Chain A
């Protein structure tokens, strides 16, 4: 059973703070993803990683960075949090082989920036 965990369910930060969101998967998946989920906008891809130390920008990378030092862990970093980054953040992982694969999602982190 695939398990994707995220470090926090709820997080409240102040404008300008540096924020770290952590994601860990236990299925040895090559691919990991960070999305933000907003009502009326669905899920939008922030960053994607297909291997350790490899990353690609998604559709909305501005204001975010990522780190993948180990295969099982993918971190999303908000260098200077702003109120428009208040959102639900979802992490996902998928195998890197065998065509287009199902993505397995974490429970989400609801971030509020005040």
Chain B
């Protein structure tokens, strides 16, 4: 089965601390991985995709095919990073499998 696992439902860190949101996937083909974010009272939006290899809002994510992981990292968390984060695996005809999501709470 092709799926996405986010093991943490909730992650709480203090402002300025490093943060890592875990994502593991299972896929038989060549994976395309994405991170989506949903801030409070806002719509779900793309944060970054592995193909672009960008850093968005200080976040980076590296695709590790050996460990089948696509963890999202930021060296210094900010309060405005508090949100719901979803890892997504692209498959088939422009479809996604989404993980169950991790709620990031950055404490002052």
Contact = CB atoms under 8 A, between A and B. Distances in A.
B59 interface: no
Contact of B98 (A42, A99, A107): A42
A41 B94 contact: no
Interface residues of A, number: 27
Contacts of A101: 94
- Counting chain B CB atoms within 10 Å of each CB, the highest count among A44, A100, A103, A106 belongs to A100
Nearest to B31: A100
Contacts of A56: 93
Given A42-B98, A50-B94, A100-B94, A105 B44 contact: yes
Given A42-B6, A90-B44, 17 more contacts: A31-B94, A33-B95, A41-B100, A42-B86, A42-B98, A43-B86, A43-B98, A48-B93, A50-B94, A99-B32, A100-B90, A100-B94, A102-B34, A103-B94, A103-B96, A106-B43, A107-B43
